[in-house]
Structure 1
Amino acid sequence: MKIKVLSTVRAFITRFYRSFRREAHLSWQFIGGDISASIIPGLLFMVAAWKTHPTDVLDFVLVMGRGIVYFLLYIVPFCVSNQIVGVEEDRINKPHRPLVKEVVSLQGAKVRWVVSMVLFTLFGWWFGVLEWALLWQACIILHNMSSGSKHWFTKNLFMGVGAFAQLAAAWQLVTPITPVAWQWIAVLASVWLMLAAVQDLRDIEGDRAIGRNTFPIAFGETASRVVLSLGFGLLPLVTHIILMMPAGNSWNVYLCDVVLAVISLSIAARIVVYRSILADRKTYMLFTYWVCSVLASAIVVI
């Protein structure tokens, strides 16, 4: 009897491990391309918040553990719902995605979306950031499941509001939001609102095929590239005046200024010089690295 019980337990653990590993791999296929725009920025801003009220190492580990759980649940429902409604578009723009490759069924993706939304609500409540979780969920529904992503204005608006909810939750997961933190949150959300259209340069063909009116389609690719390039060209001035100058004059502030300026000006140049789909994908990823860099700067200067 004892041997039979042990065999049953062993078989259960094996099945559970295989299912967990498959689910983790599938989740990565859904969210892998968005880590630098979601999980990493959130965790970096949490570190900046913790640095303003440092505690012991164990507390830091627990705080970051909450952050990993929260921001995994932050990005999963967005990516899954975005890919549920964008299968035909992804056949053109992103054929590597799991629904296009039929790694998972459409019904299976819908179940995962519902489960992740419920878990995100519960953990948002448990961690004390329910208001920001609900705001992001509203953005997910309006952007992906409604017609919000069909027009450039609402598409960019929901990305800006989403960044606001992301960073507000990140700081509040650690400590109450301060005026300085609000300033950083407002600047980063505004950057997403005004410059996130850089991500649409890579997807023009697929967006046009499904009737999505993104910024480059609405105003023309050349004009959009000029406007976005000017925006990124001016960005170092904005971050210097609003974020860096209040931190005072020190070598670490100047270093952050230089790093952010180099990345931003590189993006500005790439937008007008390199015009292939592959190049535009790399340019967008460079933008997400700028986001991570400015939030890493917050750890240094706040």
Structure 2
Amino acid sequence: MNTHTKALISPLFVLTRICRNLLYELFLMWQFIWRDYSSALLPGLLFLIAAWKVNLLSLNELPLQIGRGIIYFWLYILSFCIANQIVGIEEDKLNKPNRPLVTGLVSVHAAFIRWVVSMILFSLVGWWFGVLEWALLWQICIILNNFGSWDKHWITKNIMMGVGTVALLAAAYQLVAPLSPIAWRWILMLAGVWLTISAVQDLRDIEGDRAIGRNTLPIAFGETASRVILSLGFALLPFATHLLLMMPVGITVKVLLCDIGLAVLSLTVAVRIILYRSPQSDHRTYMLFTYWFCLTLASAIFIL
């Protein structure tokens, strides 16, 4: 056995290769999900922390719960993003040309293998953590949305967003404690928001969606009419948030501050929908909507 062969089988060399491959996989996974972390990973963790606080659990338990949440919600968004990008290569060439399948960072075959592995791991983690029903619900949404063409029409696409939000937030709370009436009020309110006005994300992708025959809200009703409808929805959102989420808690300084912060962000989105009409601006507007989602869940930590 020559020196080169010995080097190849040395423990240090093997460990280095394993670490390098793991780092590459983490990098690749981040390339798949980085545009969507604020719509799933971060919101899930925020509602998990809210559940921990509402149920008056020990501070010593929080790091473990957050660790469980990171694993679960990482797989939640990864399994969706890989499937979504496998079936969306042509539109991504127009709308999001820096995605890994478009740039050639990974092949379709390799991405599909990673998707299957992520789905299996997601099921196993959901079972292990006691939230298997919500993991399976989300996996049904992934398959219907991406491989069943439910994303091709704005009605079924919005339904998937609403159901997916239920699967996300119900799992987040149940990772920590049994679901309560208070938890369900927040879950259903926020699912309703995604069901009705999440089409703000489609304003940035009109050209790509039209090219592949997807019938989103802006294409079905026209861009101008859709902008007016969505802007009105975001303008009314502060009233719904106050009545359904804030008012039941009571009028306190914390509640008022959360109300004001959410109203400012929601009205900012409403104004931007009308005034800023480029794909880049519409992407920033959608990101502001995801920040509103995160801020709403963060407010649950402080007021509940």
TM tier relative to shorter chain: over 0.9
User: What amino acid is the match of 1:188?
Assistant: L
User: What amino acid is the match of 2:147?
Assistant: M
- Distance in 2 of aligned mates of 1:266 and 1:142: 33
- Distance in 2 of aligned mates of 1:148 and 1:55: 40
Matches within 5 A, 1:152-301: 152-301=154-303
- Distance in 1 of aligned mates of 2:57 and 2:245: 25
User: What amino acid is the match of 2:168?
Assistant: Q
User: What amino acid is the match of 2:15?
Assistant: I
User: What amino acid is the match of 1:86?
Assistant: G
User: What amino acid is the match of 2:14?
Assistant: F
**Judging changes above 3 Å, is the alpha-carbon distance between structure 1 residues 211 and 6 closer, same or farther for their aligned structure 2 residues?**
closer
- Structure 2 residue 36 is the aligned partner of structure 1 residue 13: no
Name the counterpart of 1:64.
66
TM-score (ref. length: structure 1): 0.98
Name the counterpart of 1:115.
117
**Judging changes above 3 Å, is the alpha-carbon distance between structure 1 residues 10 and 247 closer, same or farther for their aligned structure 2 residues?**
same
Name the counterpart of 1:36.
38
Give RMSD over aligned pairs.
1.4
**Per-residue deviation, residues 118-139 of structure 1 (Å, max 9, x unmatched):** 0000000000000000000000
- Distance in 1 of aligned mates of 2:204 and 2:297: 25
8 Å CA contact retained: 2:138, 2:164: yes
User: What amino acid is the match of 2:97?
Assistant: P
Post-superposition shift, 1:56? Answer: 2.8
Identity %, equivalent residues? 61
Post-superposition shift, 1:7? Answer: 6.4
User: What amino acid is the match of 1:207?
Assistant: D
- Distance in 2 of aligned mates of 1:246 and 1:75: 31
Name the counterpart of 2:97.
95
8 Å CA contact retained: 2:144, 2:150: yes
- Distance in 2 of aligned mates of 1:221 and 1:153: 16
Point out the more displaced range, 290-299 or 55-64: 55-64
Post-superposition shift, 1:58? Answer: 2.7
Point out the more displaced range, 266-275 or 5-14: 5-14
Q: Secondary structure at the match of 1:213?
A: coil
- Distance in 1 of aligned mates of 2:180 and 2:44: 16
Matches within 5 A, 1:119-158: 119-158=121-160
- Distance in 1 of aligned mates of 2:216 and 2:291: 23
Name the counterpart of 2:29.
27
**Per-residue deviation, residues 133-155 of structure 1 (Å, max 9, x unmatched):** 00000000000111100000000
- Distance in 1 of aligned mates of 2:148 and 2:89: 15
Post-superposition shift, 1:300? Answer: 1.1
**Per-residue deviation, residues 233-275 of structure 1 (Å, max 9, x unmatched):** 0000000011000111110000000000000000000000111
Post-superposition shift, 1:184? Answer: 0.2
Post-superposition shift, 1:6? Answer: 11
TM-score (ref. length: structure 2): 0.97
8 Å CA contact retained: 2:32, 2:99: yes
For structure 2, the residue ranges without an aligned partner over 5 or more in a row are none
Post-superposition shift, 1:52? Answer: 1.2
8 Å CA contact retained: 2:134, 2:167: yes
User: What amino acid is the match of 1:108?
Assistant: A
**Judging changes above 3 Å, is the alpha-carbon distance between structure 1 residues 226 and 77 closer, same or farther for their aligned structure 2 residues?**
same
How many residues matched? 301
